[in-house]
Structure 1
Amino acid sequence: MFAVFKHARKAALAAVTAVSTLALVACDTLPTGSGPTINTSKPVPVALLVPRGSAQAGDALLAQSLENAARLAIADLNGVQIDLRIYDTAGNPQQAATAATTAINDGARVILGPVYAEAANAAGLAAAQRNVNVLAFSNNTAIAGGNVFILGPTFDNTARRLAGYAARQGKGNMVIVSGSDPAGQAGRVAIERAAAVTGANVAGAVSYELSQQGVINAIPTIRSSVGSSGAQSVFLTANTAGALPLLTQLMPEAGVDPAVTQYIGLTRWDIPSQTLSLPGVQGGWF
């Protein structure tokens, strides 16, 4: 299980990748790809869209980590001066679109972020009207294309790594537990694809509605699927801001013992750090 301190390193890597990409494509003449002309003889205005101001626990820390990482990455660049400006999105698509428009009006030539797929998509649509590229930290490849580029670890990459590891550890016979929302279903498909190429096996799949009652209603089905299939693991698409805390509380109570059935997560389980104390998260792979 990854520790909380690894989050800053993950954010730093994403920011370094984004800013390094900017340094590589920046030039004094019109580039062959999309996006505005960038004059590197002067500081390049770059907007960083972060989820500060949202109601989700951990987003304030994520926003600050991304800002710190971006500034560290910029300090290591040679030959390109960056004028970094920070814009808060509250993790909200509408506010992300507004922030992107404001940033471009302020002179931004490139947008870094947002983090969440819907917000990144909204920012991309707003920026496309002004021919500005968005280098998002999202892991959802469905929003990539046109002026939106994805820099985050994708569901497919994460699923392949974890499914392959599970197979090698003798935990490859798995039940997928996914939300009924687009992100949950995209995660389920990614896990199914990963199982097909890693030697893992999907023994069952259970979907739940995104509500407290929806999760509660799914618990007996999860328990039954694990028991009847002889599954060695459950692979969850939920995140800490959604159903994960309730699932990892109720599943052990229902008899899906994490000491016997390995819990695996497609998303980060260590933000906020309190999540690590949940019974089903302790010892989990993510």
Structure 2
Amino acid sequence: MSALTLPAPRFKRIVGAALFGLAALAGCTPTTSSGSLGSILQTTPSTPQPGEIPMSGPVRVALLVPTGSGDAERDALGSALENAARLALADRPNSSIELSVLSTGGDPGQAADAAASAVALDADIIVGPLFSSSVAAVAPIAQQAGIPVLSFSNNSAVAGDNVYILGRSFGTSARRLMSFAASRGLRNTGLIYTQDTEGQAALDAVRQAAGETGSQLVATASYPRSREGIPAAAEFFTNEMIRNGVDNLLLSDRGTGLVYAASFLPFHGLNVDRTQVMGLQELTEGAMASERALAGAWYTVVDPSSSATFSNRYSARYGARPHPLASLAYDGIAATDTLIAEARSSRDARAFDARNLTRSAGFTGAEGAFRFRADGGTDRALAIMEVTRDGPKLVDPAPGTLGFSGL
């Protein structure tokens, strides 16, 4: 990782407070004289206030990555995030972004220290960190300083109050799948989820997506994610789906747990040929293609063409394939640079306020279009794939732009 260079402080937040004091003094000072303090204040070039960017010169961006822990895997991931961020800058040779890379070690305490450093550097926006615990540690520090956070997390629990998540959450996939199912006349949705934090997040996401897509969540059931827990709950969760007339069924689990749970659906009487099974997580493992209950199941992926292009360009520059999460850093920098350019074009210094961050047009990222939501979540232009014995089959391509529903 490149060495961190401390730029000369712009002091915009301190200067803002100082000018407030001068303005108060001006209220007690005669202003009829041409040399009065009032005249000076009116003619002095404006200084960016908290939440504003300068209309020329560098805009300071703090990139928080999980390096510095001594863990080789985390360090490699952090380096990949930095590489992708620098690739985004290389794609924008006229960018005014001044990037400061700060290590979090994947630790909440170190992440808080990094956020404090970002404030000291007078950063205008923070891109990162990755882990939700680190995001939670960074958030109050950034909020107090009026700095928005574009985190790499996919945990919607840490989103909101000027914190946005770039990661693909259950909500992103649920909205895309349920909207597409509804377009096919499948509106009676069921959800089978795991009895853990991940499963609860899936339940919350599907409940919200139902209201946004015109679907009805008519049945839910859960199971402990264990070899004993799944078969013990299988008859009940299958019967709940049958009894409530589910015509499309979401599964929140992944990997072997998903395959094992799905195998009990036809065993206990669910007609999987007449019920559209859908996975909230990618159904790409080999065993899934041979599981009868998952034949024809739908799941979401980022735009395959855009993803391949990004991967090839990253590999050409850095000599290795990108980590699956690296594109999030590219997206964070791409969105930031777009907002800076538009703010300067329109002379609107509040480039990173909620209105601009959540603009309906969204942004063009490494793997397709995306948009921040008012709740801090993210809509992404996702493709829908189908599980077949011959491999994944494209059912519906990723849209090139985001519609009003974000799909």
| TM-score normalised according to structure 1 size | 0.64
Distance in 2 (CA, whole Å) between partners of 1:97 and 1:103 is 10
How many angstroms does 1:151 deviate by? Answer: 3.6
* 2:299 counterpart SS class: coil
Which protein has the larger Cα radius of gyration, Structure 1 or Structure 2? 2
Q: 1:99 aligns with which of 111, 116, 140?
A: 111
Aligned CA RMSD, in angstroms, stands at 4.2
Q: Give the 3 Å change call, closer, same or farther, for CA 76–45 of structure 1 in structure 2.
A: same
Q: Give the 3 Å change call, closer, same or farther, for CA 227–149 of structure 1 in structure 2.
A: closer
Distance in 1 (CA, whole Å) between partners of 2:288 and 2:179 is 23
* 1:285 counterpart SS class: strand
Q: Give the 3 Å change call, closer, same or farther, for CA 162–70 of structure 1 in structure 2.
A: same
Q: Confirm or deny that 1:161 pairs with 2:176.
A: yes
How many angstroms does 1:144 deviate by? Answer: 2.9
**Residues 50, 113 of structure 1: 8 Å contact kept:** no
Q: 1:198 aligns with which of 213, 216, 226?
A: 213
1:254-265 equivalence runs, <5 A = 254-255=265-266, 260-265=274-279
Match of 1:33 in 2: 51
Deviations 1:1-30 (A, max 9, x none): xxxxxxxxxxxxxxxxxxxxxxxxxxx943
Letter in 2 for 1:247: L
**Residues 67, 79 of structure 2: 8 Å contact kept:** no
How many angstroms does 1:71 deviate by? Answer: 1.8
How many angstroms does 1:133 deviate by? Answer: 4.0
**Residues 129, 152 of structure 2: 8 Å contact kept:** yes
Q: Which runs of 5+ in 2 are unaligned?
A: 1-45, 301-407
Letter in 1 for 2:101: R
Letter in 2 for 1:30: P
**Residues 225, 257 of structure 2: 8 Å contact kept:** no
How many angstroms does 1:175 deviate by? Answer: 1.4
Q: Which runs of 5+ in 1 are unaligned?
A: 1-27
Match of 1:111 in 2: 126
Of the structure 1 ranges 166-175 and 58-67, higher mean CA displacement relative to structure 2 is found in 58-67
How many residues are matched?
245
Distance in 2 (CA, whole Å) between partners of 1:54 and 1:281 is 43
Q: Give the 3 Å change call, closer, same or farther, for CA 48–257 of structure 1 in structure 2.
A: farther
Q: Confirm or deny that 1:251 pairs with 2:262.
A: yes
Q: Confirm or deny that 1:137 pairs with 2:143.
A: no
Distance in 2 (CA, whole Å) between partners of 1:200 and 1:262 is 14
* 2:220 counterpart SS class: strand
* 2:298 counterpart SS class: coil
**Residues 193, 203 of structure 2: 8 Å contact kept:** yes
**Residues 276, 282 of structure 1: 8 Å contact kept:** no
How many angstroms does 1:98 deviate by? Answer: 1.4
Distance in 2 (CA, whole Å) between partners of 1:41 and 1:198 is 44
Letter in 2 for 1:111: I
Q: Confirm or deny that 1:48 pairs with 2:64.
A: yes
How many angstroms does 1:145 deviate by? Answer: 3.7
How many angstroms does 1:164 deviate by? Answer: 1.5
* 1:99 counterpart SS class: helix
Distance in 2 (CA, whole Å) between partners of 1:87 and 1:215 is 41
Q: Confirm or deny that 1:227 pairs with 2:242.
A: yes
**Residues 180, 209 of structure 1: 8 Å contact kept:** yes
| TM-score normalised according to structure 2 size | 0.48
How many angstroms does 1:176 deviate by? Answer: 0.8
How many angstroms does 1:99 deviate by? Answer: 3.1
Match of 2:280 in 1: 266
Distance in 2 (CA, whole Å) between partners of 1:41 and 1:248 is 54
